[in-house]
Structure formats: C-alpha cells, structure tokens
Amino acid sequence: MTPRKSHVELYKKHHKHFIAIDCIIFGFDEGELKLLLIKRNFEPAKGQWSLMGGFLDENESLDEAGYRILYNLTGLKDIYMSQLHSHGEVNRDPGARVISISYFALINIQNHDEELVKENDAHWRPISKIPPLIFDHRHMVDLALEQLRKEAKIKPVGFELLPSKFTLPQLQSLYEAIYSKTLDKRNFRKNILSMGMLEKLDEKEKENSKKGAFYYRFNEDKYKELTARGFYFNIAI
C-alpha cells in the first residue's frame, strides 16, 4: 500500500476544485511591448479575447502545466517563465468555480512558431491597445506588467525579450517600452556596460541607421560569476 493511500480518507471530506493556468506572454517588437492574446473560437466566452490558458492535469506540477500551455501555443521550450499569482474569487469564472494560477513568460517574438499561433487564433497586441479581456484576465495582465517592471530593474530579464544578438539602441528602446519613459542614451549605456555582462561583437546591425550599431550579447556566465561575488544587477530608471 503506497503512503499516498494511507490518509486519503482524511482528505475525502474536502472539496476539490478545477485549477486553470493562464499565461501572460510578453514579446517586444517594433519598439513596443506586446502580449500574445487569444481570440477564442471555443466556449465559454467564444469570440472574446483572453489569455492563453488550460487546466491542470492530474500528474503534472503547476510549472509543468505552465510550460505545456506555453509550448502548445508557441512551440517554445526553455523560456523565462514564472508564477505570478493565484486567483480565487468565487465567481471569477461564470462557467464554474475555477481557481486560476497566472504565469508570466518573456519570449523572443521572432522565435515562436507562427503556424501554431495561427491555429490557436492568437495575436500579438501592444500593451497600449489591449482589447477587453474575459473574466479577471485584465487584472492578471496588470499584475504581470507590475511584476515585469519590478524585475527588469534588478534582474537581467530584458534580454529574454530580445534576440541573442542585439544593439544598445534596441536594448534601450526595450527598457523605454517597459517603463513608458525615455531614457538618457549616455547614462543608459554607461549603466549597462559598467556592469560588465555584455559582450561587444564585431558585427554591426545596419537596418536602422546608415552608420550601423554594434551588436552585443548577454554573457550568462559572466553574470553568474558577478552574482556569485555579491554583485546585483541594477538599472537606474
């Protein structure tokens, strides 16, 4: 007899609940922070906009469910993702009592599987133009944005939203999008370069200017080494 069965009677008297996972998926493109949203072609709330979600299965952890749902929509694995909050208002979902656990993910918008996204009727929407969302999904989005703004200051999470090679103007533009604020070029560069975790490449990006801007790469190992020495990532905003 497994230990799992030994006390099952003690739990039996309690209620069980549906548990959903909803994903707030951020991307960055054309100088704007964007969210991947679903135009629902299924019930409930068919025809309305919502976050990508799904139900927690019997034999998967919460994190596994989050990654599964993200993978099913984007074809991406090994993505920066973290749990945000659990939402348990009794009537948050008019279809049934469902507890939802929100996750937020940062992805490089170039990498996702466009076919899968199309199949799911998912669309990138700039955060300045988010359509009305079902249930409490808008609240989840607001929490996620708040969290992103907290984290981007003190952890190198911004790089998750960019290609592995990026230019400093791109990086600055990303931070400006996250904080809806223009930043001083000289101060921004001084700040980020002084941390010593960016590698300058020999190559230039020439799409956006005649002069061209040097590519940089985030050096994960360097960052870990610095962290181990008591260093803290910090961008002045």
Looking at residues 171 to 230 of the shown chain, list those that interact with DNA (rule: CB under 7 A): 184-187, 189-191, 206, 208-214
By C-beta, is 206 or 224 nearer to DNA? Answer: 206
* Choices 62-70, 115-123, 212-220, 229-237 (CB under 8 A): range interacting with a second copy: 62-70
Of 125, 134, 113, residue with least CA distance to 70 = 113
CA 217 to chain centre: 20
Looking at residues 75 to 94 of the shown chain, list those that interact with a second copy (rule: CB under 8 A): 83, 85-90, 94
Looking at residues 118 to 177 of the shown chain, list those that interact with DNA (rule: CB under 7 A): 167-169
Strands across the sheet containing 213-218: 165-167, 213-218, 198-205
Which residue from 30, 31, 72, 97 is in contact with a second copy, where contact means CB under 8 A?
A: 97
Question: Least distance to a second copy from the beta carbon of 17, Å?
Answer: 5
By C-beta, is 62 or 183 nearer to DNA? Answer: 183
By C-beta, is 14 or 211 nearer to a second copy? Answer: 14
- 58 and 29 Cβ atoms separated by less than 8 Å: no
Q: In angstroms, rounded to a whole number, what is the distance separating the alpha carbons of residues 67 and 43?
A: 23
Pick left, alpha or beta for residue 135 (phi over 0 → left; psi -120 to 50 → alpha; otherwise beta): left
By C-beta, is 17 or 149 nearer to a second copy? Answer: 17
| Residue matched to tokens 């993505």 | 79
Question: Least distance to a second copy from the beta carbon of 22, Å?
Answer: 13
From the list a second copy, DNA, none, which binds 190 (C-beta under 5 to 8 Å, kind-based)?
DNA
By C-beta, is 32 or 136 nearer to a second copy? Answer: 136
Q: What are phi and psi of 31, to 5 degrees?
A: 75, 10
| Residue matched to tokens 């962290």 | 227
| Residue matched to tokens 């956006």 | 208
Question: Least distance to a second copy from the beta carbon of 172, Å?
Answer: 24
- 235 and 175 Cβ atoms separated by less than 8 Å: yes
Tell me the two tokens of residue 175: 């931070």
Question: Least distance to a second copy from the beta carbon of 99, Å?
Answer: 6
Which residue from 30, 60, 203, 220 is in contact with a second copy, where contact means CB under 8 A?
A: 60
Q: What are residue 105's DSSP bridge partners? A: 25, 81
DSSP 8-state secondary structure symbol assigned to residue 196: T
Looking at residues 5 to 24 of the shown chain, list those that interact with a second copy (rule: CB under 8 A): 6-8, 10-11, 14-19
- 65 and 21 Cβ atoms separated by less than 8 Å: yes
**Which residues bind to a second copy, rule: CB under 8 A?**
3-4, 6-8, 10-11, 14-19, 43-44, 55-63, 65, 83, 85-90, 94-99, 101
**Which residues bind to DNA, rule: CB under 7 A?**
167-169, 184-187, 189-191, 206, 208-214, 234, 236-237
